[in-house]
A and B are shown apart, each in its own frame.
Chain A
């Protein structure tokens, strides 16, 4: 698996409390950042599983500013996630907290963008959990197997998007 190849992701555990996703996008860094930081764009792509929508996307993009997304599932149920920004370096780095509610561990998410070869941007998302146990629970036991299944599904999906 080569994460520098656009359209593929690489999931690793750099420490006991972290999960890291590395993904390459075939677009300049400026544009990738725009798509990830402007509330006008997020409901167009960050909507999770098939059939979900994001009716609320609020982002007060400054240090200490809050963000809040509401997801609506096909059965009409809604689920909110929220947090605050801790660090913002436009087009380079964004650190934010994330909470899905009291039963789920709060995380600190660090998103970094770097230039790769011509017109390709590498995104690194590192999610820090409060404990190894919380990280392991989020990771589950069959991660590798699940990942491979996910990639197989993605491979099947990509031709239909092209």
Chain B
């Protein structure tokens, strides 16, 4: 019945990936430019493997891309899914603003029906 209920849609994967402060910090760092795992690990009290785990979640969500060079594998930000999030959250507010604007008009109508001028 619900179009959303049956599959894990890409937006849900994005939200899951974003629901962690370390992963958001990694994305903030990558917004300034490509970085290696070692560079990404340095601001955190975290091992390389722990950071790599976060990077895998981000990669699966399509939020980052990793280079092919075995040694460096620099990470870069992929903006597409973030844009979808921005659109969805914008939609969330638009949903309510559109409703309330219509309710303003509808209430005027109800008032007039109660006490026709």
Closest-CB distance, B29 to chain A (whole angstroms): 15
- Residues of chain A within 8 A of B94, CB atoms compared: 49, 150, 153
B91 near A49 with CB under 8 A, answer yes
User: Beyond A26-B107, A31-B107, A46-B99, is A140–B85 a contact (Cβ under 8 Å)?
Assistant: yes
Count class of interface residues, chain A: 35 or more
B46 on interface, CB distance cutoff 8 Å: no
Kindly name the residue among B91, B105, B106 whose own CB sees the greatest number of chain A CB atoms within 10 A.
B106
- Residues of chain B within 8 A of A157, CB atoms compared: 101
B77 on interface, CB distance cutoff 8 Å: no
A79 near B89 with CB under 8 A, answer no
In the assembly, what is the distance between CA of A45 and CA of B107, in Å?
A: 10
* Residue on B nearest A158 in the bound complex, by CB: B101
Partner of B4, one of A32, A103, A134, A146: A103
User: Beyond A23-B100, A41-B106, A45-B99, is A31–B89 a contact (Cβ under 8 Å)?
Assistant: no
**Could you tell me which A residues sit within 8 Å of B by CB distance?**
6-7, 9, 11, 21, 23, 25-27, 31-32, 34-35, 41, 44-50, 70, 77-81, 100-104, 131, 133-134, 136-143, 146-147, 149-151, 153-154, 157-158, 161
